[in-house]
Structure 1
């Protein structure tokens, strides 16, 4: 689906496709003709993460509101139906009709899934949703999802993420060697290339692994969620930036057969509610992360940037991996070519507009 498709669907919802703008006489007739449909949504998030899982609840509420409660979707947290990292499988085999997840969890099935969430050293939040909706990114992802009997629509994004919690300082690239690091998605292949030992662990299992020393470091999202998960109690060094996630784009993924069987106006409701959820989730994170960071520092977190040497080594390793994959994996090669072309133009524009404005305002922050 392109960005224009989304806009047309929103027009459809508001201009009479669901009867919302129809006359008082016509609206009930349309509502009565709409079938009652009940779906289940499996999420990759525990209920304690009230922005990621809360976004699922918000999405389900919006679908019900748009369809006059005729289309109801019930959300289930990670582990209630399937474990958090098995949502795609549950959607693909029809265990549930819809799931909310990060597609990069499934990079083991195909590395190209990482483009759905965030390519390390890829795009920021605004760039990524733009690439998905207006530069063909989502269409390419859906070509891949089709092979798994699914179709996807982007939902909430976390924004740029933090680099995670470490028991010891990271001063040089050598400090990554042997480091058991919980890191999501495809970034683990880059860590591994530099001698680290990546671990992919669902949110609810990270804290005990870090506490027991099963892992040496862990990243999740950012200050608000990290505070809820308690990482500052067991690891003090809090690094930035999360170079593997300049954004953290979530997706609603639907079983393809169930999706195709839906009335068109219910498909439109999912698309519209998903985009509403993008604004809800991303806006909330931008609101709650700043005070959470202050609280974490007060609780003993030691905020540190990754050394330039480490960032450049990771960047170089990532590009070597991408070059190899682009030659051997058609899905990866097509998406990588598209994303890098988009990124080159977008960065040039953002350097002129966004960066200059943001940099000036950040310098002025302490003067007001």
Structure 2
């Protein structure tokens, strides 16, 4: 009898301990079961960008023991690549995975949330978003679009794109038809470039048919997958217009407000993890992809200093013009620019000096 009571007490104790160890969200009876749809702006062939969209949905499901499920879709499966924010804000879907600068026509300030030409590095961008006041400043911008945006990805430093011909001077840019997103395109227009914003899945056909003379996307790994090297032989760097572009999980504002507080916290945690997951993945994959491209005949080129200087001046002129036209952009840009200036000066002392030394020392080995 005593033995049976001991076993019963032990079994009950073990059950209680297991219940205490289980996560509240996962194990709680009556936890709301939520199913959302999430279209994205990035080709399904890319295990970096679209892969992060999948990773984010997977982590949210794992953190809630399957109670909160997000079904992901590629461009065109629900809405076109460049209409994701419209679908989310209008309530067609609950959330979407996209970049704010695709929608700068609605509000120029949206470009800054993704990136601006000659802007922040990946590390600096995360600091600005999380501790530099950007999320608070941008809440009003996104609210006007009917969404709540949570940073959920970053590609890290990008390349300057693929060209059919060499770029030796600013003169070579005049009349060039080039695919580019964000305000880098507006800056290039000042230098005579004819720019187009084309969704990721449509870039290769446009380049192949000669609709455009060149295109930028992200960097070696993605660009190799999309096949740009098969058409345009010259690969330029740096991607001054996209030093560190951020990707958002955009959530319909009404759907977001209806979430339990715990689910909101899980969204934040999963998005933060995914932001770093993406940038780290690119850092691992890009170097080997670059070697493969060069071995296959890609001609790596740096933009001439003359082109970089002209592009920088054009970008500063553009920011001033946008500020004159739009008080909100002016206010947000002034805050962004102060933060950027401080970060550049600090990085020059603490990081750039060592990075430059290591680049030379490594090359001499």
Q: Secondary structure at the match of 1:23?
A: helix
Larger Rg, first or second structure (1 or 2): 2
**Pick aligned residue for 2:356 from 356, 359, 363:** 359
**Pick aligned residue for 1:154 from 144, 151, 156:** 151
How many pairs are equivalent?
Answer: 348
Consecutive unaligned residues in structure 2, runs of 5 or more: 1-17
**Pick aligned residue for 1:139 from 136, 148, 161:** 136
Deviating above 3 A after TM superposition, structure 1's stretches of 4 or more consecutive aligned residues are 24-30
Q: Is the 8 A contact 2:157 2:242 kept in 1?
A: yes
Q: CA deviation at 1:22?
A: 7.9
- 1:159-194 CA-partner distances (Å, limit 9, x unpaired): 010000000111111111111000012211111111
| 2:287 is the alignment partner of 1:260 | no
Consecutive unaligned residues in structure 1, runs of 5 or more: 1-20
| Distance in 1 of aligned mates of 2:159 and 2:83 | 25
1:6-21 pair list within 5 angstroms: none
Q: Secondary structure at the match of 2:250?
A: strand
Match of 2:201 in 1: 204
Match of 1:10 in 2: none
Q: CA deviation at 1:102?
A: 1.0
Q: Is the 8 A contact 1:156 1:282 kept in 2?
A: yes
Match of 2:294 in 1: 297
Match of 1:190 in 2: 187
Q: CA deviation at 1:330?
A: 2.3
- 1:4-35 CA-partner distances (Å, limit 9, x unpaired): xxxxxxxxxxxxxxxxx982488489521311
| Distance in 1 of aligned mates of 2:26 and 2:279 | 37
Q: Secondary structure at the match of 1:123?
A: coil
Q: Is the 8 A contact 2:159 2:238 kept in 1?
A: yes
CA shift in 2, pair 1:83/1:297, >3 Å: same
Match of 1:337 in 2: 334
Q: Secondary structure at the match of 2:29?
A: helix
Q: Secondary structure at the match of 1:159?
A: coil
Match of 2:284 in 1: 287
Q: CA deviation at 1:249?
A: 0.9
Q: Is the 8 A contact 1:103 1:251 kept in 2?
A: yes
Match of 1:350 in 2: 347
Match of 1:3 in 2: none
Q: CA deviation at 1:366?
A: 3.1
Q: CA deviation at 1:37?
A: 0.4
Q: CA deviation at 1:336?
A: 0.7
Q: CA deviation at 1:348?
A: 1.1
Q: Is the 8 A contact 2:221 2:282 kept in 1?
A: yes
Q: Is the 8 A contact 2:116 2:182 kept in 1?
A: no
Q: Secondary structure at the match of 1:331?
A: helix
CA shift in 2, pair 1:240/1:79, >3 Å: same
| Distance in 2 of aligned mates of 1:176 and 1:31 | 61
CA shift in 2, pair 1:150/1:131, >3 Å: same
Q: Is the 8 A contact 2:157 2:239 kept in 1?
A: yes
Q: Is the 8 A contact 2:324 2:330 kept in 1?
A: yes
| Distance in 1 of aligned mates of 2:139 and 2:25 | 35
Q: Is the 8 A contact 1:31 1:68 kept in 2?
A: no
Q: Is the 8 A contact 1:97 1:254 kept in 2?
A: yes
- Using structure 2 for the length normalisation, give the TM-score: 0.92
| Distance in 2 of aligned mates of 1:309 and 1:25 | 61
Q: Secondary structure at the match of 2:20?
A: coil
